[in-house]
Amino acid sequence: MLKSSLGNLTKSFLSWGMVVGLFLFLFLVGVPNALAANVAPTGLYVDATSTEAMTLHWVAGGGVEATYSVWASLDGIDYNLETTAATTSPDFLSYIVTDLATNTEYFLVVTAEGGGGDPATSSYTLATTPVAPTVDNPAITTLDVTVNADTNPTDTNFAVYETGSDLYLNLDGSLGAVEWATSTHTQYSFVVVAKNTSDVLTASSSAATLYTLATTPGIPTIGTPTTSTMPITIDVGTNPVGTEYAIYNSTSGYFLSALGASNAGTPIWQSTTTWGANFPAINLATNTLYQFVVLAQNGDDISTATSTASSATAGTIAIAPTTVSATTLGKTSIQVAWATNGNSANTTYKVAYSNGTLIGTTTDLSYDVTALSPGTSYTFKVAALYKNDGVTYSPYSSTATALTNSSPNGGGSSDTTPPTNISIKINENAVTAQSNQVTLTLLASGASQMILSNTSDFTGATWEAYNSSKIWLLTTGAGTKTVYVKFRDSSFNVSSVVSDSIDYLSATVVETPVVVTTTPPVVVVTPPTTCALTTKSAYKLATSPAVYYITPECTKRAFNKSNVFFTYFTSWNDVKTTTKTILDTIPNDTLGFMPWGPKYDPKYGALVKIVTDPKVYLLLGTEKYWITSEAVFNTLKYSWNWIEDIDSDLLNKYTTGSEITNTTVHPNYTLIKYANNSKVYRLEPNPTDATKQVKRWIPNETVFNSLNFRLDRIVTVLESEGYTDGAELN
């Protein structure tokens, strides 16, 4: 019994101990109201996530829970986010948690009244759908795409998608593969998606589109020109089909219209299908060089530059002169004259006998054929030289015939000698004129009348009494101006034509001549100490095709002809771009044209001068020879319209030879011919006696051209100017 009683006592003691122990355990772990009826919920998960809310679900613990509390934390430790705490009844096993931050991770927990919740679950809210990306800075094969984060935090991940190729961008900017590259003149459309840390994607942004740039077209092909048209075929380069192009006539300063006339002030954009192959540029001047540049534009109307490698230069062809006449000047000379028939100014003409034997060449519209036989009939014809190659001539004109005067019969005498010692000077050989009113100084021995003109054909001019001085009006418009004069005596013997030129700066225009007693001064420009742009460089504005040369004196001159530009620079790439504000600080140069530059090849026998010095030099080989006076110039049968204006840097390339003062013989290495003979010779020192000269025959045109000689710089000499024959030149 004792044992039995003891056993019961022990059993009772143990039951009370378990109750006390359980109470202490619950008290020590601190779980509030840990009543057996409260069982912690389980199976927590999250769905219906948006940018600012998510729904938390759970499974009841199976007790008699009265309420549930939902808590949120950013770190899984501190669950004191009061704004998201909530209490729900046991009938609801889910709860929408609101007022959350976009694309942010939250830890959520549910507790039953008096008991702890399931281990915390966590989830991200969704990222915000981005706005359209920014696409800019187009180049030929690249575009810049910038993602706009909008309200997403900085650690949000984004992906850029190109809709046309159905590919995402790689980190290096390529699409889908490293080898992929954008195409020229192609439209691309980009959208952006954002992703939260749970790898849930947003919807795509709206699209942003942009074209890559078109490439500069290749050099256009110029077909066979006529006297007024030039067929042009565009080289599209790497541009795709459908690209639109405009054709710019840089010589005229206008774009081609849809009909082909160079009269459009703004680009006319058309596809090559519309332009067509061999599209004709029309209404061009006869025998004139033109430069054409092709531009391309992309679908966003951004055009390529009017520069570089897309330019082509060609010329319309010359046409035979018309209205050819032959006028007897005396016993031994006849003047042949003609009309241009539309050929441009400074066209070179060759005068020949009817059998084709060359007499000489000139850029005037008349030529005095001398050293003829008295009482003899001569027939002449004229052809014009193509400017586009400097070799080909037009067909010959119709012929004109004249009879030289006969020698007088018996012992009588007749005056057949025209006025001699003839000359003309404008403003006493000044280099420039600020006004179109100038003073002419005229000299002619034995003259009783004179005829003056601003054109070599003397159109509209009339004879007047000879006077050694005359006030004269040049034609308006800046540039080189030439005045021509002929003299005749009382027996009506007419002299040859002489002329003088001056650079008119177009500062003052006079309508009616006014007698002045002073000679206009030569303008001397002092170079500035500093210049806003680099001197001896070419500049243009981004919005204009005009190109300017910055002189050493920090003035600007516009290039009016592309062939002159390329005597200063190698490529259109040498042109720099500046702003209108800076360019406007550079004053316009008083000289209204650009002389030939340092890269120009004036060829053998050229007559040149620089614009700031009236000295005229004869260029032979690598040397320059100063012709010391007007009398020497005229006596040696040089022509004033042979003189070319060149840059001083070009003249400085030639070493100084001897001065030309002797009027009885021509300098060594001059090209000469005799009036009644087509043979052309070069004068050289006699190999056995350097104090004497020999003439070496140039046997054919091939040899002539290979030696870089010029047909328009052959001097016709008198038969009395004899030279010993030397070896044939080849």
Q: What is the pLDDT of residues 252-281, one digit of tens each?
A: 889 999 999 998 888 999 999 999 888 999
pLDDT at 425 over 80: yes
Residues contacting 276, CB < 8 A, separation 6+ = none
Percentage with pLDDT > 90 across the chain: 22
Residue 448's CB is within 10 A of a number of other CB atoms, namely: 15
**Band (306; pLDDT cuts 50, 70, 90):** low
**42-46, 63-67, 163-167, 659-663 — which is least confidently predicted?**
63-67
531-565 pLDDT, tens per residue? 989 999 999 988 877 889 999 889 988 887 778 88
**Band (343; pLDDT cuts 50, 70, 90):** very high
Question: Which is more confidently placed, 218 or 9?
Answer: 218
pLDDT at 512 over 50: no
Size (the chain), residues: 730
pLDDT at 3 over 70: no
Residues contacting 358, CB < 8 A, separation 6+ = 350, 351, 352, 673, 678
> What pLDDT was estimated at residue 172?
64
**123-127, 340-344, 682-686 — which is least confidently predicted?**
123-127
**Mean pLDDT on 650-665:** 84
Q: Would you say 353 and 359 are in contact if contact means Cβ atoms under 8 Å apart? A: yes
* Average pLDDT value for the chain: 79
pLDDT at 66 over 70: no
Q: Would you say 210 and 187 are in contact if contact means Cβ atoms under 8 Å apart? A: yes
Domains and CATH numbers, the chain: 42-124 (2.60.40.10), 127-213 (2.60.40.10), 221-315 (2.60.40.10), 322-403 (2.60.40.10), 433-508 (2.60.40.10), 671-725 (no CATH)
Tokens for 154?
């900085």
Question: Which is more confidently placed, 498 or 103?
Answer: 498
> What pLDDT was estimated at residue 527?
46
The neighbouring-strand residues paired with 381 are: 352
**Band (664; pLDDT cuts 50, 70, 90):** confident
Name the helix (H) or strand (E) containing 8: helix 2-29
Tell me the helices (H) and strands (E) count for the chain, helix number first. 7, 51
Tell me the whole-structure pTM to 2 decimals: 0.45
Q: Would you say 472 and 439 are in contact if contact means Cβ atoms under 8 Å apart? A: yes
